[in-house]
């Protein structure tokens, strides 16, 4: 130990190698970033497209609002959820944590959390509190073969492989929308910029041509300002003989700007995996029965591939005891009308599957 080391108080702890803590790594992710980096998009670009932002809010807000339940895997008995499941971070509502985790899985294909507190080893050394970490803050190091992640860093600082401060990985089922649909997202953003341009300036693009002497820059600027101010108050214009109006380009109707935006919105709905009707990318006549079917489609094709990684990771041994599983409760989201529920309850009560007390409890009628 050198003399200088005696005065260093903020030394970064060395990360110990633990085979059990290493995580399999998909080499295709590195290839995608290396060779197809220009085909990806950023979250800011994604959220700047209205249909994409609406798809994100529907999927992630719905997942964040779903209640979480724990039950015994063998007896199917419902158990009281632990606080670490209902409210991972004591400082933030649990719905906010899970909504942002859902976004990370949707957009990037991976989500991260960090352990804030942990029970003692006598209590199973399970996690007591944790919080979400933005994927932008996380970097990792792989082995030589690039088959496993052996260590993580948060904000460039080494973190322990286990215990307080360690990372919690929620592995997604694909590479994320930003990686697989980057070009579609950027195309949609360019169409939004084009719509903004046409909203700011009259179209088609107009050019005022002087047929006389060349004008000074100051006179040209005053002429354009006067033209713009006049067009904002009246549609009819008057030009002197030495000024000619020429139109260049096409108007939005000829460019089919609305059709192009609708098409890209439909493509984004396909990329995200959400029914197009939820983002108004297609016109359909909705009745109550079709609305229920759309919600089932939303669960099956949009939410399931995000809910499953969350459920399985929260059911791991570092969160709950063995034999206990964590599940999102989607029954309330899919429940029918009061008349439909009453008809189902009447049948279940008649065949002895549900008692009156159970029906009252299901409908929150017991005070």
Mean pLDDT for 295-301 is: 84
- Same domain, residue pair 42 and 161: yes
Q: Is residue 49 part of a domain?
A: yes
- Same domain, residue pair 290 and 175: yes
**pLDDT value, residue 246:** 65
Q: Are 119 and 125 in contact (CB under 8 A)?
A: yes
Q: Are 104 and 46 in contact (CB under 8 A)?
A: no
Interatomic CA distance for residues 43 and 177, integer angstroms: 10
**pLDDT value, residue 202:** 52
Summarize pLDDT for 315-361 with one digit per residue, the tens: 999 999 889 999 998 877 777 667 767 887 888 888 988 888 888 87
Residue with the bigger pLDDT between 137 and 220: it is 137
Q: In sequence order, which residues have a C-beta less than 8 Å from that of residue 254 and are 6 or more positions away?
A: none
Alpha helical stretches, state H, the chain: 27-35, 43-47, 50-65, 83-86, 94-108, 177-180, 182-200, 217-231, 252-255, 257-272, 288-298, 304-314, 331-334, 338-350, 356-362
Interatomic CA distance for residues 81 and 83, integer angstroms: 7
Confidence of residue 11 (pLDDT cuts 50, 70, 90): very low
Has residue 61 got a pLDDT over 80? yes
**pLDDT value, residue 313:** 94
Average confidence score pLDDT of the chain:
79
Query: Domain ends where: 228, 258, 288?
Result: 258
- Same domain, residue pair 349 and 319: no
**pLDDT value, residue 144:** 85
Has residue 147 got a pLDDT over 70? yes
Query: Domain ends where: 258, 288, 319?
Result: 258
Q: Is residue 264 part of a domain?
A: no
The residue whose two tokens read 């990686």 is 179
- Same domain, residue pair 143 and 32: yes
- Same domain, residue pair 158 and 105: yes
Interatomic CA distance for residues 286 and 113, integer angstroms: 39
Interatomic CA distance for residues 361 and 78, integer angstroms: 14
Has residue 46 got a pLDDT over 80? yes
CATH number at residue 220: 3.30.1120.70
CB atoms within 10 A of CB 180: 17
- Same domain, residue pair 357 and 210: no
- Same domain, residue pair 35 and 161: yes
Q: In sequence order, which residues have a C-beta less than 8 Å from that of residue 269 and are 6 or more positions away?
A: 51, 55, 275, 276, 278, 279, 281
Strands (E), 59-159: 68-72, 78-79, 110-118, 127-133, 138-142, 148-154, 157-158
Q: Is residue 21 part of a domain?
A: yes
**pLDDT value, residue 236:** 66
Using alpha carbons, select from 163, 137, 140 the residue that is nearest to residue 150: 140
Q: In sequence order, which residues have a C-beta less than 8 Å from that of residue 167 and are 6 or more positions away?
A: 112, 113, 114, 115, 133, 138, 152, 154, 159
**pLDDT value, residue 221:** 84
Q: Is residue 128 part of a domain?
A: yes
Q: Is residue 2 part of a domain?
A: no
- Same domain, residue pair 50 and 113: yes
Q: Is residue 362 part of a domain?
A: yes
Q: Are 176 and 108 in contact (CB under 8 A)?
A: yes
Is-cis flag, bond preceding 314, omega within 30?
Answer: no
Q: Is residue 251 part of a domain?
A: yes
**pLDDT value, residue 57:** 95
- Same domain, residue pair 152 and 295: yes
Using alpha carbons, select from 127, 114, 96, 99 the residue that is nearest to residue 155: 114
Instruction: Evaluate the CA torsion angle 189, 190, 195, 198 in order and state its sign.
Output: positive
Mean pLDDT for 217-240 is: 75
Using alpha carbons, select from 104, 262, 271, 275 the residue that is nearest to residue 188: 262
Q: Is residue 266 part of a domain?
A: no
Query: Domain ends where: 258, 286, 318?
Result: 258
- Residue 357: give the domain boundaries: 336-367
Instruction: Evaluate the CA torsion angle 267, 100, 134, 153 in order and state its sign.
Output: negative
CB atoms within 10 A of CB 191: 20
- Same domain, residue pair 304 and 202: no
Number of domains in the chain: 3
Distance of alpha carbon 143 from its chain centroid, rounded? 30
CATH number at residue 76: 3.40.140.120
Report the predicted TM-score, pTM, of the whole model to 2 decimal places.
Answer: 0.73
For residue 225, give both structure tokens: 């300002």
- Same domain, residue pair 18 and 111: yes
- Same domain, residue pair 212 and 343: no
């Amino acid at each position: 130990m050198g003399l200088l080391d005696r005065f260093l108080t903020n030394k970064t702890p060395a990360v110990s190698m633990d085979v059990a803590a290493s995580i399999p790594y998909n080499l295709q992710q590195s290839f995608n970033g290396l060779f197809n980096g220009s085909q990806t998009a950023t979250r800011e670009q994604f959220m700047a497209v209205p249909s994409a932002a609406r798809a994100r809010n529907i999927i992630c807000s719905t997942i964040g609002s779903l209640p979480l339940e724990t039950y015994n895997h063998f007896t199917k008995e419902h158990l009281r959820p632990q606080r670490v499941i209902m409210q991972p971070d004591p400082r933030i509502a649990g719905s906010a944590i899970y909504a942002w985790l859902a976004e990370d899985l949707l957009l990037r294909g991976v989500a991260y959390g960090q352990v804030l507190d942990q029970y003692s080893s006598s209590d199973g050394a399970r996690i007591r509190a944790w919080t979400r970490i933005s994927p932008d803050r996380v970097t990792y190091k792989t082995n030589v073969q690039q088959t496993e992640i052996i260590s993580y860093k948060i904000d460039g600082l080494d973190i322990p492989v286990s215990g307080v401060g360690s990372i919690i990985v929620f592995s997604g089922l694909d590479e994320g929308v930003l990686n697989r649909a980057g070009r579609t997202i950027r195309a949609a953003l360019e169409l939004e910029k084009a719509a903004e341009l046409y909203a700011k300036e009259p179209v088609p693009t107009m050019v005022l041509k002087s047929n006389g002497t060349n004008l000074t820059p100051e006179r040209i600027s005053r002429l354009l300002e006067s033209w713009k101010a006049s067009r904002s108050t009246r549609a009819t214009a008057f030009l002197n003989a030495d000024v000619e109006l020429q139109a260049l380009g096409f108007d939005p109707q000829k460019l089919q700007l609305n059709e192009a935006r609708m098409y890209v919105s439909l493509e984004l709905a396909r990329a995200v995996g959400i029914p197009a009707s939820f983002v108004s990318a297609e016109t359909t006549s909705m009745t109550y029965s079709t609305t229920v079917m759309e919600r089932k489609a939303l669960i099956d094709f949009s939410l399931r591939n995000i809910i499953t990684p969350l459920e399985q990771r929260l059911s791991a041994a570092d969160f709950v005891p063995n034999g206990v599983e964590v599940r999102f409760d989607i029954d309330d989201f899919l429940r029918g009308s009061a008349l439909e529920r009453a008809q189902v309850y009447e049948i279940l009560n008649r065949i002895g599957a549900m008692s009156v007390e159970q029906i009252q409890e299901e409908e929150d009628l017991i005070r």
